[in-house]
Amino acid sequence: MPRGPKKARPVYYNAKQIVDDPDQHGYSRAFGLLTSDPRDAGPRPASQRIREFLSAFPPGDPVRFIHGGSLVPSADGHFEPGTQESRLARFLATDGRSGSLPELLARYGLKLAGAPAVLRPIFEPAPFRETAQRRNVKLRVLHGSVDIEPSNMDAAKAEFLDRQEKKQAAADVRLALRRMKEELDQAVKK
């Protein structure tokens, strides 16, 4: 029985357009994919990295070996494992998000010819106060009320100093009264 014509499988990216991207070598080295051994100074040949990428993400079915990950929100607001379609949509995204073709290529120190480079945001830490406040909120969520920081720190400091001054003044008054009593007792004994 003769078979009909084979269905042509879609090809999601052109493997011939993959080229080396020296701008991403640092990113690739961080993933451990740039060199054969962490002690190697130079990168593996681009052809070897391209072959490895193509075996992990074949052009005809790039998400074949991706199982799990790609959580998608459900109707009730929780997250559940994504489908092959959601994984493919993520793979085909062009915004450079994790799991997209440009980002996965960058992990191997590669890019598509003519494609813009994947830009990573530069990490700039927030001021210490904001960082501490965010940390405190996360600690409260995890452990309950831990290390609570007042909303108006200046007023809280002024109140704290006022309490400390009142405590010190009360201690000074008690000490002065004790000394006066001791002096009176000694004067009476004489």
Q: Is residue 2 over pLDDT 70? A: no
SS3 of residue 47 by DSSP:
helix
Mean local confidence (pLDDT), 166-185: 93
Mean local confidence (pLDDT), 143-166: 80
The predicted model scores a pTM of 0.59
Tens digit of each residue's pLDDT (9 = 90 or more) over 5-31: 667 678 888 889 999 988 888 888 888
Domain match, 21 and 77 both: yes
Q: Which residues fall within 8 angstroms of residue 133, CB to CB, at 6 or more apart?
A: 149
Tens digit of each residue's pLDDT (9 = 90 or more) over 64-111: 888 766 778 888 888 888 888 888 888 888 887 888 889 899 999 999
Domain match, 30 and 57 both: yes
Rounded distance between C-alpha atoms, residue 46 and residue 175, angstroms: 81
Whether residue 7 lies inside any domain: the answer is: no
Rounded distance between C-alpha atoms, residue 65 and residue 108, angstroms: 17
Whether residue 20 lies inside any domain: the answer is: yes
Range(s) of the domain holding residue 141: 128-189
Whether residue 1 lies inside any domain: the answer is: no
Whether residue 10 lies inside any domain: the answer is: no
Counting the structural domains of the chain, the total is 2
Q: Is residue 63 over pLDDT 70? A: yes
Domain match, 20 and 105 both: yes
- Where a domain ends, among 112, 137, 164? 112
Domain match, 43 and 91 both: yes
Report pLDDT for 78.
Answer: 83
Domain match, 32 and 103 both: yes
